[in-house]
Amino acid sequence: MPISIIDATLNHGKLVSSQASQLESDGWLISQSSVDFTDIEHEETYVEASPEWGLDDRCSFNLRVTFSWQDRVLYWVIGTNLGDGVINDHEVKHKGHSLERELEDSIKSLRKTWPPHPLIRIIDEYQDHWNSVVSAVAKVPKLLQISGGSV
């Protein structure tokens, strides 16, 4: 069975500069990086700041993907930012499937909780923006590909 680019990257123990460049050129921010882990973040604004409506800051979906180099695992945290920091967060651990599928499966499981997770209402209300988040997640493996080979 061929090794996935995610597993190859985790086994390598760091992002190489071309991977970091490709991620950054697609709107990902490398927010923290050490020998232990690297965090990349993606933000999708769903409501712009509007002081006349009493909204001094924009509202966004926030996605932080963590490559844990020591544990050789990838997980991400999905949340919303209503101008006062990321809240309503939900963690997803990579289990070897496509990142898009894992994200969709985790949201399906959140839909089954009672009371409903606050993230679900926002996803449903801003579906087009949520679809952009899903698309960003789906592109990560391609962005990790290195021209001419693997990690």
Q: Each residue of 63-104: pLDDT tens digit?
A: 999 999 999 999 988 888 776 667 778 888 899 888 889 999
Q: Each residue of 111-120: pLDDT tens digit?
A: 888 888 888 9
Give the span between the Cα atoms of 125 and 129, in whole angstroms: 9
Any bridge partners for residue 38, and if so which? 33, 67
Q: What does the pLDDT read at residue 56?
A: 62
The token pair that represents 72 in the structure block? 């050789």
Q: What does the pLDDT read at residue 83?
A: 67
CB 26 within 8 A of CB 136: yes
Amino acid at 46: Y
Structure-model confidence comparison of residues 50 and 12, the more confident one: 12
Q: How confident is the model at residue 18 (pLDDT cuts 50, 70, 90)?
A: very high
Q: Each residue of 120-150: pLDDT tens digit?
A: 989 999 999 999 999 999 999 999 997 555 4
Q: What is the percentage of the chain residues whose pLDDT exceeds 90?
A: 53
For 128, residues 6+ apart whose C-beta sits below 8 A from its C-beta are: none
Which is nearest to 137 in space by CA: 12, 3, 17, 28? 28
Query: How far does CA 118 lie from the centroid of its chain?
Result: 18
